[in-house]
Structure 1
Amino acid sequence: MTRREAIVPANRHALYEMHRYSAAIRSGDFLFVSGQVGSRPDGSPEPDFEQQVRTAFDNLVNVLEAAGCTLEDVVDVTTFHTDPAAQIETVMAVREKAIGGPPYPNWTAVGVNWLAGFDFEIKVIARIPEGA
């Protein structure tokens, strides 16, 4: 039976301790990354929305790297938005710089009314490369 292994990135932010969750769990050759937000090191939200989205992607990259992955290993993405209609253009611009061109991972965007003070969250599933 495959056991889950917690992945802890360098510069782990305060939210992991405050809310008692792992940044990611490795199970077999898959990495299940918890929702990443645009938090400052103390866990508070980045106030500028575009910077909040960039920081969420930066936090995601840090977690992926801790498991030996990159954004190219991501196969499934779920994003959460507090105001999808007003935010989608900004999110897509940041996403394009981070993810790049095709082939794109699966992507599901969900409108929500609460993200603990944040306006954007991204969670992914990645396949861990051999030898990582």
Structure 2
Amino acid sequence: MNERKAVFPANRHALYEQHEYSAAIQSGDLLFVSGQVGSREDGTAEPDFAEQVRRAFTNLSATLESAGCTFDDIVDVTTFHTDPQNQFDVLMPIKQEFFAKRPYPNWTAVGVTWLAGFDFEIKVIARIPQVV
């Protein structure tokens, strides 16, 4: 059985300590990343939606990097949206900056009514590249 190992980015934001969770858990060659939001370093939400989405992806990138992964290693994505119908026009161009080439990971988008003061959250599963 593989042990789980907590993974945190170098400049982790305050939410991890405030809510007592890990940025990601490594189990074998899989990385299970907790939902990443567009938070500032103090844990508060970025008020501009486009910037909040960009920060969520940037926070995700930092967590992936801390485990030796990139966006190319992601196999599964789940996003949560407080107003999907009105947010997708802003989200899609930002998403394309980070997922620029095929094959794209599978993706599930879920509309929700509450994200603790945020409007967008992204969680992923990635395969950690083998070191040779």
- For the criterion TM > 0.5, the same-fold answer is yes
Map of 1:110-125 to 2, 5 A cutoff? 110-125=110-125
Any idea what the Cα deviations from partners look like across 1:39-83, whole Å, max 9, x if unmatched?
000000000000000000000000000000000000000000000
Between the aligned partners of 1:117 and 1:131, the Cα distance in structure 2 is 39
Residue 127 (structure 1) aligns with: 127
TM-score, scaled to structure 2? 0.98
Q: Give 2:31's aligned residue.
A: 31
1: CA distance between counterparts of 2:19 and 2:91? 25
Moved more, 29-38 or 95-104: 95-104
Once residues 8 and 93 of structure 2 are traced to their aligned partners in structure 1, the CA distance between those partners, rounded to angstroms, is: 28
The answer for the alignment partner of 2:51 in structure 1 is 51
Residue 71 of structure 2 corresponds to residue 71 of structure 1: yes
Q: Deviations over 1:8-66 (max 9, x none)?
A: 11001000001110000000000000000000000000000000000000000000000
Runs of 4+ in 1 over 6 A off after TM superposition: none
Report the 3-state secondary structure (helix = DSSP H, G, I; strand = E; otherwise coil) of the residue aligned with 1:109: strand
- SS of the residue corresponding to residue 62 of structure 1 reads helix
CA distance in 1, matches of 2:101, 2:86: 24
Q: Count the aligned residue pairs.
A: 132
Q: Which residue of 2 is the match for residue 18 of structure 1?
A: 18
RMSD in angstroms over aligned alpha carbons?
0.9
**How far apart, CA to CA, are the structure 2 residues paired with 1:123 and 1:29?**
17
Percent identity between matched residues is 67
Q: Secondary structure at the residue paired with 2:76?
A: strand
What's the offset of the Cα at 1:101? 2.1
Q: Which amino acid aligns with 2:108?
A: T
Q: For 1:21 and 1:122, locate their aligned partners in 2 and report how far apart those are by CA, in whole Å.
A: 15
